[in-house]
Amino acid sequence: MRNRLTRRIMCVTMAAAACLPLAAAPAAAADEFPQREIRFLNAFSPGGTSDLLGRILAEQLSKQLGQRVVVENRTGAAGVIATQETARSAPDGHTILLASMGIMTITPQIQQVPYDVDKDLTPLANVASVYNILVASPQSEIRTWQDLVRLAKERPDRYSCATVGPGSSQQLSCTWFSSLTGIRLQQVPYRGGAPAIVDIAAGRVDVMFGNMPEFMGQIRGGGLRPIAYGAAEASPLMPNLPVISKTGLPEFVVPNWFGVVGPGGMSPALVARWNAELNRALEAPEVQRRFVENGLQRLGGSQQDFLRQIAADRAKWGRLIRAHNIRAE
């Protein structure tokens, strides 16, 4: 009897000991990470806000992690191609994606996507907010956002607003602004911000809401007239430009952010490691300097902060999408 009891205790002890390496494996993997270069997927073309932000972060993260962080632009299908590539990757922390607000909160509500953003992706940290800004041609009679409202009411359907396709922050900004002010703007879709900016500068399209970094070259060169911020506050680059929400339209605040996500199923230890590294990168003086120079706001924070932002914006834009029956073409 005693021998049987002794053998049983020994078996239980050996079984528990065998489980210890498994329980410790995620933590050990996080400690040993990274073991090779890291793929930093980007869903949009080189030269835009997303590409600029991704390369700033990749440079700093390479220094911190001691491994190359390589930006890969996988463009197409409103971000679906890069997002699917991320979702299919191993959850070992060596593949991450710079995910736009649209990828996480808008695109899945206007079209079928081959992944579940809640199950197949792991949010790690929100990293940057981009100032939303309204611009017009320097030759335009529009000098304030109130001018746009007044003129559009006087001449319905006369004024146009450039967008970069269904579900983009540009389109949602235009739709929401029109809805709140009771005006009608003809939406003119473009394949990207660059051709839209050319047409606005030439006066072929009247206005555009978009990402401040993409406008700064033309604004500095006199090719675009900045009208007002759709963001919650003014950028230090143009501190005297009016903020729409603070000058008569309090509901109009467009949060256009970029966060970093990994494949679904990443271990809590790896999530914590990536969150810490991303927050550390945002504190680097060189990153802070380049953010200010390019009209970017640092965000950062915990994974829970990021999850709350995703949920809030999904609900906010979902209401607008349903109200105006916005669908991918």
CATH number at residue 61: 3.40.190.150
pLDDT of residue 10: 41
CA 98 – CA 56 distance, rounded (Å): 12
Please indicate, yes or no, whether residues 43 and 139 belong to a single structural domain of this protein.
Answer: no
Domain extent, residue 92, equals 37-129+255-324
In a domain, 29, yes or no: no
Last residue of a domain, one of 215, 246, 277: 246
CA 22 – CA 27 distance, rounded (Å): 10
Cα distances from 193 to residues 98, 137, 168, 284, in angstroms, run: 19, 15, 11, 29
pTM of the model: 0.84
pLDDT of residue 28: 46
Q: Are 113 and 83 in contact (CB under 8 A)?
A: yes
Please indicate, yes or no, whether residues 179 and 316 belong to a single structural domain of this protein.
Answer: no
CA 182 – CA 300 distance, rounded (Å): 36
pLDDT of residue 47: 78
**Nearest partner of 281 among 104, 89, 38, judged by Cα:** 38
Cα distances from 134 to residues 70, 117, 294, in angstroms, run: 33, 30, 17
In a domain, 32, yes or no: no
pLDDT of residue 3: 43
- The dihedral formed by the CA atoms of 177, 136, 256 and 294, expressed in degrees to the nearest 10: -160
Please indicate, yes or no, whether residues 193 and 140 belong to a single structural domain of this protein.
Answer: yes
Q: What is the 8-class DSSP label of residue 221?
A: H
Please indicate, yes or no, whether residues 52 and 78 belong to a single structural domain of this protein.
Answer: yes
Last residue of a domain, one of 246, 264, 280: 246
Please indicate, yes or no, whether residues 232 and 157 belong to a single structural domain of this protein.
Answer: yes
In a domain, 17, yes or no: no
Phi-psi region of 95 (alpha: psi -120 to 50; beta: other; left: phi over 0): beta
CA 36 – CA 39 distance, rounded (Å): 10
- DSSP of 88-110: HS-SSSSEEEEEEHIIIIIHHHH
Please indicate, yes or no, whether residues 190 and 287 belong to a single structural domain of this protein.
Answer: no
In a domain, 309, yes or no: yes
Please indicate, yes or no, whether residues 262 and 178 belong to a single structural domain of this protein.
Answer: no
In a domain, 270, yes or no: yes
In a domain, 6, yes or no: no
Contacts 24+ apart (CB under 8 A), 1-9: none
Last residue of a domain, one of 246, 275, 304: 246
pLDDT of residue 8: 41
Please indicate, yes or no, whether residues 264 and 288 belong to a single structural domain of this protein.
Answer: yes
pLDDT of residue 48: 81
Please indicate, yes or no, whether residues 147 and 187 belong to a single structural domain of this protein.
Answer: yes
pLDDT of residue 30: 66
Please indicate, yes or no, whether residues 148 and 236 belong to a single structural domain of this protein.
Answer: yes
Query: Collapsing DSSP states into helix, strand and coil, what is residue 203?
Result: coil
Structure tokens at 54: 């991704």
In a domain, 329, yes or no: no
Q: Output the domain CATH number for residue 209.
A: 3.40.190.10
pLDDT, tens digit only, all 329 positions of the chain: 434 434 443 443 444 444 444 444 455 456 789 999 999 999 988 878 899 999 999 999 999 999 999 999 998 888 899 999 999 999 999 999 999 999 999 999 999 999 999 999 999 999 999 999 999 999 999 999 999 999 999 999 899 999 987 788 889 999 999 999 999 999 998 877 788 899 999 999 999 999 998 899 999 999 999 999 999 999 999 999 999 999 999 999 998 899 999 999 999 999 999 999 999 999 999 999 999 988 899 999 999 999 999 999 999 999 999 999 988 86
Please indicate, yes or no, whether residues 235 and 277 belong to a single structural domain of this protein.
Answer: no
CA 173 – CA 170 distance, rounded (Å): 5
Our count of domains for the chain comes to: 2
| Residue in the structure block whose two tokens are 């929401």 | 176
In a domain, 12, yes or no: no
pLDDT of residue 282: 98
pLDDT of residue 194: 81
Please indicate, yes or no, whether residues 241 and 137 belong to a single structural domain of this protein.
Answer: yes
